[in-house]
Structure 1
Amino acid sequence: MTTVALLGTLDTKADDYAWLAEQLHALGTDVLVIDTGSFSKSPMATVDSDAVIKAAGADAAGLRERRDRGEMMAVMGRGAAVIVRELADAGKIQGVLAIGGSGGSSVAAPAMQALPVGFPKVLVSTMASGDVSPYVGEVDMTLMYSVVDVAGINSVSSQVLGNAVAAISAMAQAFQTRLETASVDHKPLVAITMFGVTTPAADEARARFVSLGYEVLVFHATGSGGRAMEKLVESGLLAGVCDLTTTELADDLVGGVLSAGPHRLEMAGSVGLPQVVSLGALDMVNFGPQDTVPEKFAGRNLLVHNPSVTLMRTTGEEMQQLGLSIGRKLASATGPTEVFIPLAGVSAVDVDGAPFRDAEADSLLFAALRGELEGSNVTIHELDMAINDTGFGAAMADALHAAIVAR
């Protein structure tokens, strides 16, 4: 029998969760109830609210005395994330289901984002018809719009919630079956980051990985792509990372629209995963249509990539800052790390005769990177070619393969 964790505020929605539990039991699915209600003392809870608060490292009495709703929601979200991850890792649950409005969704979302990709997670929310990126994050959450408020079972909510129950029950069973029947001979997974202006290098690396017996996942470096790739690293699903295109760091530094956040390029190093890294598309910052480029960048070297995308060339100072930042991140890596420097250009538009060619700016990037990596355990490869020249992508793939095999 599979077990689904019901995650919710039992101080306000106990009747709704009792109905969900009853429906899951009718489908042959066991239930474990985690109470995230700030003041709940429900006998229905398998894991009570005090335990959730403790898992977050907070004091229940003090938290309740302050009666700060924002603080309570944050604490409950952190605690629930710890608990569901522990339960999932121990094989005690095979799925998570939560229902709620903005408050309940804000608590359930961190818990679901803490779970690995592939683990079943369903959230029924009143917020699902708007911008859902804060709730989904980089995981494969199934998000359903509740249509009516989550406030009792009625003829409409019973249909919506009934579908959610059926979905999580079937997902949990399928997940458990996959675990029981998974082949030990599956191909190892590697990830590649790419952009339109680094596609030839990514394609060459992908072909080499396939020939070496890997399954390859390619991530478009658009902010969400980089975050999704690093979530898979955290989930423990990858054998290695070919981080060929680190352009999202330029957007984060300068203020472009495709930032993956300040912690991009840190996850593989923190978990000790083999990684090979290059400087793909660091010559550019991304914006939308040309009229959306901030006024402060007037006079900068702009390139209209298509009607929806305008690229801006990074300056020498910005490239130097990127070299310092990347060097610091890689120098702190705990696993095998190698960096590949394409001396003749970091993108398709940063080669001789192309609109973003700026050898002086590139040299500042390279010099700053070398300086930060001096004395570290990171291996530096300087290739007298542009990133998309034949052989560059394959060289990165060969290096990652050697690092994976040597572990």
Structure 2
Amino acid sequence: MTTDTTEKRAVLVIATLDTKSAEVMHLKALIEGEGLECVILDTGILGEPQGVTPDIPASETALAGGMPLAEVRKKPSRGAAVEVMLEGARVFTRRLFEAGRIHGAISMGGAEGGVMAAAAMQVLPPGFPKVIITPLASGHRPFEPFIGIRDILVMHSLVDIAGINDISRAVFDNAGHAICGMVRHYRPLEITRRNLVAVTTLGTTEWAMRRISQGLRAAGFEPIIFHSSGVGGRVMEDMIGRGFFCGVVDLCPNELTDHLVGGFHDAGPGRLEAAGRMGIPQAVSTGCMDFFAQGGKETIPEKWRGRKMYYHNPAFTLIRPSHEEMRRLGELMADKLNRARGPVRVVLPLGGMSIGGKKGGSTYDPEGDRALFETLKAKLNREIPVVELACHVNDEPFADRLVAEFLAIAAAAPPTGPPDGKG
């Protein structure tokens, strides 16, 4: 997408106009009063807009989602109907962005309208202005349905989105002025340098991450750090696929453990795959793969209560995988790395993969570590070198060697230029 700063910019408003017409009219007036255009996309299912004419009516949204609106209304459940409108909203949002027609997006809605808009905003790239107003943005609720892997500003509406009153007006005005300010100052995110390296870490490997970052910077690379707590890995994989990075130092692919076992840090089935598809160099270790994350001690499911644990904080407990799970992790990791189109090197910390996993720690289990390491070595292609160090993951010699292995394959790899696409 190219953006001409002299053109009149537009804000996409996504909403269910059968229930949110008054609120959209208020937002439209504010946006246009700020000198911007307003493009309204209707995702309403049951009724018709009241007093406002959308640029993209619900009938067109439904067709883009795969069927006429009349058929959507006959769906046996509300969820099935929402899926169709959600897909249609995605289609139109992508079209408008790719045509350079919009420069920001905002929505207001609850469990259905907000989630549909959030799904549509996932097609918009990092750096593109995005705002969602919803009563579900309260502290005890999960934010995954609204944020996903995008930089979305989520604002709590305080009250239900059911008309304009003294309270809702203040919230809508703040959100409206926020998106207008973002749109006015928006510049597409552009990666112009070839030296960005993605690095993964968790708090338990903070020392290693800092040492690795120092080594990369000394060699002329710029480390971009991702917190491997589920969403961090997903964001990194997405950005690798967009061509942002020239290489990866995957210190902590622990999200594989959570995906396999069912922990909080599950990044989905695509973790540890994008770099291989893109053919960029990757130096990989096993940091933090010796645990998966759960909640506070009192919330641990019965099936895991007999396992070794590390008390991380009142909200998180780190649980040791079984030996069989460690073997399966070795197989999973090897399968993903074997499919890589670019150079790969693996560095194993034989002295422990986490704070709790070192000798004397509450999750220390050398046999479990060996189950992972031996399976991984046995299943990896012979072309992938494996370095074994009698170090803990946070020891300086280990971090230095991981950097050295990356630099060796990066030096031999063809240069990767900045991506063609811009946010």
TM-score (norm 1): 0.85
2:116 aligned with 1:111:
no
Give the aligned partner of residue 16 of structure 1. Answer: 23
Aligned residue number for residue 87 of structure 1: 96
SS in 1 for 2:74: helix
Would the alpha carbon gap of residues 99 and 197 (structure 1) be closer, same or farther in structure 2, given more than 3 Å must change? Answer: closer
Contact preservation (8 Å) 1:209, 1:397: no
Say which structure is richer in helix: 1
Residue deviations 1:103-126, cap 9 Å, x none?
211211111233222211111112
SS at match of 2:73: helix
Q: Percent identity?
A: 36
In structure 2, the CA distance between the partners of 1:310 and 1:40, relative to structure 1 (3 Å rule), is: closer
* CA-to-aligned-CA distance 1:274-318 (integer Å, 9 cap, x gap): 533221121223344545444333443334455655433333211
Residue 240 of structure 1 contacts residue 400 of structure 1 at CA under 8 Å; is this kept in 2? no
SS of 2:347 mapped into structure 1: strand
- Determine the structure 1 residue equivalent to 2:34: 27
1:169 equivalent in structure 2 = 180
SS at match of 1:143: strand
**Aligned-pair distance for 1:16?**
2.6
Relative to structure 1, is the Cα distance of residues 123 and 347 closer, same or farther in structure 2, using a 3 angstrom cutoff?
A: same
Shift of 1:196: 3.6
CA RMSD of the aligned region, Å? 3.1
Distance in 1, matches of 2:278 and 2:116, equals 26
Q: Pick closer, same or farther for the CA change 1:256–1:147 going to 2, 3 Å.
A: closer
AA in 2 matched with 1:258 = H
Shift of 1:344: 2.0
Structure 2: tracts of 5 or more residues without a match: 1-7, 417-423
TM-score by length of 2: 0.82
Aligned to 2:388: 383
Letter in 2 for 1:214: F
- Aligned partner of 1:402 in structure 2 is 411
Aligned residue identity for 1:284? F
Contact 2:256 2:267 in 1 (8 A): yes
Structure 1 residue 193: Cα displacement: 0.9
2:32–2:38 contact (8 Å) kept in structure 1: yes
Deviations 1:347-383 (A, max 9, x none): 15545666655444333323433444437xx733323
SS of residue paired to 1:369: helix
> Mean alpha-carbon deviation: is it higher for 233-242 or for 153-162?
233-242
Structure 1 residues 347-356 or 198-207, which shifts more?
A: 347-356
Q: Is the 8 A contact 1:240 1:404 kept in 2?
A: no
Match of 2:248? 241
SS of equivalent residue, structure 1 residue 65: coil
Listed one character per residue, the Cα deviations across residues 27-77 of structure 1 (whole Å, up to 9, x for unaligned) are 111122212122567682223334323433445443233363211112222
1:22-101 equivalences in 2 (<5 Å): 22-38=29-45, 44-58=53-67, 60-66=69-75, 68-101=77-110
Secondary structure at 2:186 match in 1? helix
Judging changes above 3 Å, is the alpha-carbon distance between structure 1 residues 260 and 11 closer, same or farther for their aligned structure 2 residues? same
Residue 233 of structure 2 aligns with an amino acid whose one-letter code is G
Structure 1's 124 and 304: CA in aligned 2 closer, same or farther, altered over 3 A? closer
1:126-145 equivalent positions in 2, closer than 5 A: 126-130=135-139, 131-133=141-143, 134-145=145-156
User: 2:342 and 2:19 mapped to 1: Cα distance?
Assistant: 50
Partner amino acid, structure 2, of 1:87: L
Taking the TM superposition and a 5 Å limit, the aligned residue runs for 1:195-234 are 195-234=202-241
When residues 258 and 374 of structure 1 are mapped into structure 2, their CA distance, relative to the original with a 3 A threshold, is same
Q: CA 1:73 to 1:400, structure 2 compared with 1: closer, same or farther past 3 Å? A: farther
Cα pair 1:204 1:393 within 8 Å, conserved: no
* Structure 1 counterpart of 2:348: 342
Shift of residue 262 of structure 1? 3.9
Alpha-carbon distance in structure 2 between the residues aligned to 1:231 and 1:40: 37
Unaligned runs of 5+ in 1: none
Number of residue equivalences: 400
1: CA distance between counterparts of 2:344 and 2:316?
Answer: 32
8 Å CA contact retained: 1:242, 1:400: no
**Deviation at residue 329 of structure 1 after TM alignment:** 2.6
Give the whole-Å Cα distance in 1 for the aligned partners of 2:168 and 2:367.
62
1:310/1:21 Cα in 2 relative to 1: closer, same or farther (>3 Å)? Answer: closer
Report the secondary structure of 2:387's partner residue.
Answer: strand
What does residue 421 of structure 2 align with? none
